[in-house]
Structure 1
């Protein structure tokens, strides 16, 4: 009789332990799924358009000369051109490519979209001088517009506008790094582990 009672208690204990193991396993799986869901949500929060704006101004003197009769006669045209341009540098993080590995708790950023630079110049002409034999034409305006954008591009490269936009990008990605760290996940960018903000900054600016 005692042996039967001991056997029954032992079987009951095994059943209880079995159920507890299953519950533990289920909780662990649920935690992994919930963590992946939180990571996915954070990516959606980060995935937006980051825009940094700037304003540039410049004054250009445009001159052109048409010569006739072997250079003996010439007709000049010139204008003072004032340019005011609004410039935006944008990162569209909706285009960011990434992979999520819920088993090993790794999120890998595969690629970040290149910055998009948009230049919107307002060109005003002053002190215009021209002749009937050398008037301003559409070709002149195209040359001026091309020259203006080339000059503005150089100014943008020398300014802090691009670096400011990049800093905003890093600030957004830092939110993702914080979430992954708090949930016990690992963040990688192009195969490299991102352990902290400094590493993120270094990898983005390579």
Structure 2
């Protein structure tokens, strides 16, 4: 009878030790599991982010160009070309070029590289009207010159600074999804590019 009590006491002691051992091990590994979980959540969100941020503006305008023909110092004919110009202006950021490091130990999100803005302005010119005369025919060269000037005028009419500012806002909206998540996980955000200082991060 005494032997049974000894065996039961011994088994109970081993059981208590096992419970304490695995409980302590679980507590010690809890931080590591949390770090891995946070790291996975952040890196997964970064990979899901849109890889190309694009903001577009579409502008249209009409322009009338007059071409006079003079004889003996007097204008004897007056030709004109009316052009219709559609301009697509866009600013884009290729986020494949962005580099973000996730430090799960120090709980830091470090932005090491951000892409520069790529601005593209594409004008398309259509001839709406040709008004020429017998004495002063409009040549193909005239049409090319008018078309080229219309394109140059369209490009100059685009406010590239404003376009870049609006594109930057769109970029920040995309990045903000990551920043909000990082802050919710108690991560600090460090910007090594110097481009995000205006956000007060």
TM-score (norm 2): 0.69
In structure 1, the residue matched to 2:32 is 29
Q: How many matched pairs?
A: 188
In structure 2, the residue matched to 1:117 is 119
Structure 1 residue ranges without an equivalent (≥5): 1-7, 67-75, 201-206
TM-score (norm 1): 0.67
Q: Deviations over 1:74-96 (max 9, x none)?
A: xx986332211222222222321
Pair 1:136-2:140 in alignment? yes
Select which of 86, 97, 115 maps to 1:95: 97
**Counterparts in 2 of 1:16 and 1:103: CA distance versus 1, 3 Å:** same
Greater Rg over alpha carbons, structure:
2
Following superposition, the deviation at residue 185 of structure 1 comes to 1.1
Following superposition, the deviation at residue 174 of structure 1 comes to 1.1
Q: Which runs of 4+ in 1 moved over 6 A?
A: 8-15, 63-66, 130-134
Following superposition, the deviation at residue 28 of structure 1 comes to 1.1
The whole-number CA distance in structure 1 between the counterparts of 2:122 and 2:179 is 35
Asked if the contact 1:91–1:115 (Cα under 8 Å) also holds between the matched residues in 2, the reply is yes
In structure 2, the residue matched to 1:85 is 87
In structure 2, the residue matched to 1:72 is none
Structure 2 residue ranges without an equivalent (≥5): 1-9, 70-77
Asked if the contact 1:59–1:80 (Cα under 8 Å) also holds between the matched residues in 2, the reply is yes
Following superposition, the deviation at residue 40 of structure 1 comes to 0.5
Q: Deviations over 1:18-50 (max 9, x none)?
A: 433321222211110110011101112324322
Structure 1 SS opposite 2:29 = helix
Q: Deviations over 1:151-179 (max 9, x none)?
A: 33433326744333221211111111100
In structure 1, the residue matched to 2:75 is none
Following superposition, the deviation at residue 132 of structure 1 comes to 8.9
The whole-number CA distance in structure 2 between the counterparts of 1:40 and 1:124 is 48
**Counterparts in 2 of 1:158 and 1:118: CA distance versus 1, 3 Å:** closer
The whole-number CA distance in structure 2 between the counterparts of 1:119 and 1:53 is 10
In structure 2, the residue matched to 1:3 is none
Equivalent residue runs for 1:1-206 within 5 Å: 17-62=20-65, 79-125=81-127, 126-127=129-130, 129=132, 135-137=139-141, 141=144, 144-145=147-148, 147-157=149-159, 160-190=162-192, 198-199=199-200
